[in-house]
C-alpha cells in the first residue's frame, strides 16, 4: 500500500500559515520541488523528507494521517510491559502484505512498515535498497535514538559505522546503538533487502538535540540552512 505524504505535508504547512517559498528556502530546496512533493509528482530524498517534517514540527505518522499510542514508562521509568494499545476498535494482529504502508525515496530506498498492533515501542521495517541506493544521497552519516537491529534477506549492503566499514550479506545480522553515526549503501548492481527493528526510537526524543547540532530549528524560529539527515520517526499506526 503506497503511502502519499504530500497532502499531509501541505495541510500542516498551510495550517501554520507558511508559504511554499518560505518552507522551501528553509530546507534548501526549490519551491517547485516542494510543490511536486506535496502533489505527489515526485519523491523526496530521505534527508529532504525529514528536513521538511522536522521543520514543520510533525512526524511521518501525522503526514500520513495515522498515529499510534506512545509507550509510557512506569513509576520507576521501566518500559517493559508498558506498550499501550490504540484506543477505539481492537487492532488486528495481522497485517497483509498488500496493506504494508510504503514510502519510496528519491535515493533508491523503499521502506515498508510491518505490523505494529497499535504499539509504538518498536519500528519494524522491510527496507529495500536499489543498486546504488543509500540512506543519504549526500553521503553523510546519520544518528538517532534507539537500538538498531537488522537482518539481510538478500543482496549485499555496506554499513559505515563510526570509522569502520562492514559488508553485510544474506543471513548476516547487526545490532548497534543508533546514536553511533552510520550510513547504508548498496554498492552492487543487484537489489538488497533486509528486515530492520529499531527499538526505543521514540523514547523522549523529539529530534531537538540533533537539529541543534546541525544549526537547525523548527518552524516559527529561524530557517533551516540545508536539508539534514535526521532519521526520526517512521512509526505508522494501524488505521
Neighbours of 32 (CB within 10 A): 12
Q: What is the pLDDT of residues 164-204, one digit of tens each?
A: 999 999 999 999 998 898 999 999 999 999 999 988 755 54
Q: What is the pLDDT of residues 153-168, one digit of tens each?
A: 999 999 999 999 999 9
Mean pLDDT rounded to a whole number for the chain: 74
DSSP one-letter code for 235: -
Of the ranges 4-8, 71-75, 167-171, 209-213, the best mean pLDDT one: 167-171
Secondary structure of residue 34 in the 3-state scheme: helix
Q: How far apart are CA 97 and CA 117, in angstroms?
A: 14
Of residues 235, 135, 130, the one with CA closest to residue 181: 135
Residue 42 grid cell = 515526485
pTM for the full predicted model: 0.66
Of residues 65, 7, 11, 84, the one with CA closest to residue 239: 65
Q: Which are the contacts of 114, defined by CB distance < 8 A and separation ≥ 6? A: 95, 100, 124, 125, 126
Of residues 198, 190, 205, the one with CA closest to residue 146: 198
Q: What is the pLDDT of residues 55-66, one digit of tens each?
A: 887 755 555 555
Domain 6-213: give its CATH superfamily.
Jelly Rolls (2.60.120.10)
Regarding predicted confidence, which is higher, 86 or 45? Answer: 45
User: What is the per-residue pLDDT for 53?
Assistant: 76
Of 45-59, 80-94, 170-184, the one with minimum mean pLDDT is 80-94
Amino acid at each position: 500500500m503506497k503511502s502519499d505524504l504530500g497532502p499531509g505535508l501541505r495541510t500542516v504547512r498551510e495550517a501554520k500559515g507558511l508559504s511554499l517559498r518560505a518552507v522551501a528556502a528553509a530546507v534548501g530546496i526549490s519551491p517547485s520541488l516542494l510543490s511536486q512533493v506535496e502533489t505527489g509528482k515526485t519523491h523526496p530524498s530521505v534527508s529532504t523528507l525529514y528536513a521538511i517534517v522536522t521543520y514543520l514540527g510533525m512526524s511521518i505518522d501525522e503526514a500520513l494521517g495515522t498515529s499510534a499510542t506512545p509507550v509510557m514508562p512506569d513509576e520507576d521509568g521501566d518500559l517493559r510491559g508498558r506498550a499501550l494499545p490504540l484506543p477505539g476498535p481492537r487492532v488486528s494482529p495481522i497485517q497483509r502484505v498488500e496493506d504494508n504502508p510504503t514510502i519510496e525515496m528519491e535515493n533508491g530506498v523503499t521502506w515498508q512498515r510491518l505490523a505494529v498492533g497499535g504499539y509504538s515501542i518498536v519500528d519494524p521495517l522491510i527496507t529495500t535498497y536499489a543498486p546504488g541506493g543509500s540512506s543519504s544521497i549526500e553521503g553523510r552519516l546519520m544518528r538517532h535514538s534507539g537500538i538498531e537491529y537488522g537482518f539481510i534477506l538478500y543482496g549485499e549492503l555496506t554499513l559505515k559505522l563510526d570509522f569502520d566499514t562492514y559488508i553485510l550479506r544474506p543471513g548476516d545480522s547487526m545490532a548497534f546503538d543508533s546514536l553511533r553515526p552510520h550510513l547504508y549503501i548498496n554498492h552492487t548492481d543487484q537489489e538488497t533487502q533486509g528486515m530492520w527493528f529499531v527499538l526505543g526510537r521514540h523514547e523522549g526524543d523529539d529530534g531537538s538535540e540533533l537539529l541543534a547540532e546541525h544549526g537547525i530549528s523548527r518552524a516559527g524560529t529561524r530557517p533551516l540552512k540545508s536539508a539534514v539527515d535526521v532519521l526520526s520517526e517512521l512509526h505508522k499506526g494501524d488505521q
